[in-house]
Each structure stands twice: as structure tokens, then as C-alpha cells.
Structure 1
Amino acid sequence: MNLILEEISKQNRRVFKNVFNKHYKELVIYANGYLFDQPSSEDIVQEVFIYLWENANKLEVKRSLKAYLYTMVRNRCINYLKSIKITDNYEFLEFNINLITEQVFDSTSEEDKRIVYHQILKLVDTFPEGMQKVVKLKFLHNYKYSEIADELGISINTVKTQLKRAKLKIAELVTSLLILLQINH
């Protein structure tokens, strides 16, 4: 184990590449369990491997390198979710979506409302499975954040993050659909 870190600290690319190839995919899957966002999961795992490459001589791995890598990925995922929460203007986003739907839907025909509603459902079906579950529990079953987190075995921050991303996508769709519907009338 320490031999691997020693070789990596000597900039042994072959050893590093073997470690990377052995653990990369499973670490991305693990990270995605926290983030439900494939590109961000890949970024975090790549950052972990960059850190390993640059700091191998400073690391003190007590158990196994694999366990150490998993711990680093988990910690970075948690920090990432915390950073999203800090910058999460959830109330502002909620306000904008309500404003769009209330103002524009008031002047929209029932037929157009049905079209928009069905397009939203189609969009939700294209979301990653985890995001779909969160959205459906929140909006179709009216679960609270804590209930969704318990039901799916994820953190409340993950629930909020998934809902934020879903609402952004839905808001974009609704805005463009309503513009198209107004052009057609």
C-alpha cells in the first residue's frame, strides 16, 4: 500500500494509471450516489486523482488506498453540496417559477395549459432516475424534503439540489413553450 503511494510520489505514471483505471469508474458511481449529477461526479473524482498525484508524498493512509479514495470522494461531494446550498437562491427560484406560471398561465387557454403540463411530464421523464424520483415525490405526492430524503436514503441537501436543477430545466421549458404558444396564436 505505502509502496503504491511511494511510487506515485516518484511520479511513476504506470502505477498511477493502474490505480486510476482500477478505481475511477466505481468512484464516479459512488460520487453520483451523492450528487445525482454525472459531470460533477466525474469532476470530483478527477480532482481526487489530481490531488493524489500531486500530494502522494504527504498522504498518510492508515487503512487501504481504496478506502482513502472513497473517503476523499465522499468529503468532496459533501463539500460540493454545502457550497451549492450556500449559493442556492431557492426562494428566488421558487418565486420566479410561480411568477411565470401564474402571470402567463392566467392568460393561457386550458388547451395550452394541458400542452405545457404534458411537456413538463415528458421533460421529467428525461431526468436522471434519482432526480425523477425526487421531483415526483415532491410534486405528485407532496412529500416534504425530509420525507423525500428518508424515502430515498439521501440527504436533504441532495433533495434541494435535485429540485433546484429540475426547476431550472422546467422553467426553461415552460418559458420557451409559452413563447411558442403565444407566437402561434
Structure 2
Amino acid sequence: MQGDKAVKSNHFNLESFIREHFASLCAIAFKLTGNSETAQDLAQDVIIKFWENRQQYESLESIENYLFIMIRNESLNYLRGLAREKKRYEKVSLNNDREDSLWDTIIEQEANLLLNEAIAGLPPQCKRIVNLSLTGKNTKEIADELDIAVNTVKVLKSRAIHKLREYFLENDIWIEF
């Protein structure tokens, strides 16, 4: 029976302790973190830590001052943890960007090798026209350089593209022209 009174007394004391300090701890934590849910979690953590070790604090002159220091420290630790997490995320994101860039480079090089291999199998005149097209020259410039008619360039370029498509289809390679 005596034990029940002690439990009820401790329960009542904890309840009144929470009523007395929770709101002010939440307000301080909110001011520091800017997040009400985080502030409530931190205030709850501080109350639990204080309550579990309350025997150590019996000689304190001001519980409120001590709780203020505890909630401030918990809030600052939380913010430091967020900053560390953000830095880690940025590093991971930067590494992912580098990896993506590396993969893009590898894929581009592989595509270039496949394209060069396919172009190598074209008839000589078609090969020249495709290579000149890849350097950015238009049909008229290619015709002037090779000293052939514009229509001939168009026909040979069309045949070359057709043969390249066939090559890629035969080798089960998807490429867009």
C-alpha cells in the first residue's frame, strides 16, 4: 500500500512537472529550431532525461535555469546533427553527379565506337559524306567539298543512314537518327 502511494506521488509529481515546464521548453526549442514537432520532441527528451536523473539535481538552486540549458543544448545538438546530415547528403549527391557524369561519358564513348564501327562498313563515298555531316557541314558544303551534285549527296546520305539503321538493327543496338 505504501508503495502505491509512492508510485502515485511520483506519477503526480511527473505530471505536474510536465505541466509546469513542457510549454516553456517547447517555446525555447521552437525558437532555436523553427519546427514545432521537433521542439516538442526535444522538450520531451529533456523532461525524460531530467526526470530520470532528478536525484542528482536536488541541490540545484534553479531547475528552470538548468532546464533552459538542457533544452538549448539539445536543440543545438539537433541542429548540428542536421548540418552534418546535410553535408553528408551533399557529398553523396556530388559523388552521384560525378558517377552519373562518368557513366554518361562511358556510354557516349561506347556509342561513338559503335557508330564509327558502323560507318567503317559503309561504301567509301557514303562514309565520306557521313563523316563530313558529323563535323557539322550541311549538304551544300559537302557537295562543294566532294565536287558532286547536292542531290547526289542527299541520295548517298539517305543510303548511308539506311545502311546504318540496318547495321544497328542486325546488331540489336538502338540508336536514334
Give the TM-score normalised by the residue count of structure 2. Answer: 0.43
Q: Higher Cα Rg: structure 1 or 2? A: 2
Name the structure, 1 or 2, with higher relative contact order (CA <8 Å, separation 6+).
Answer: 1
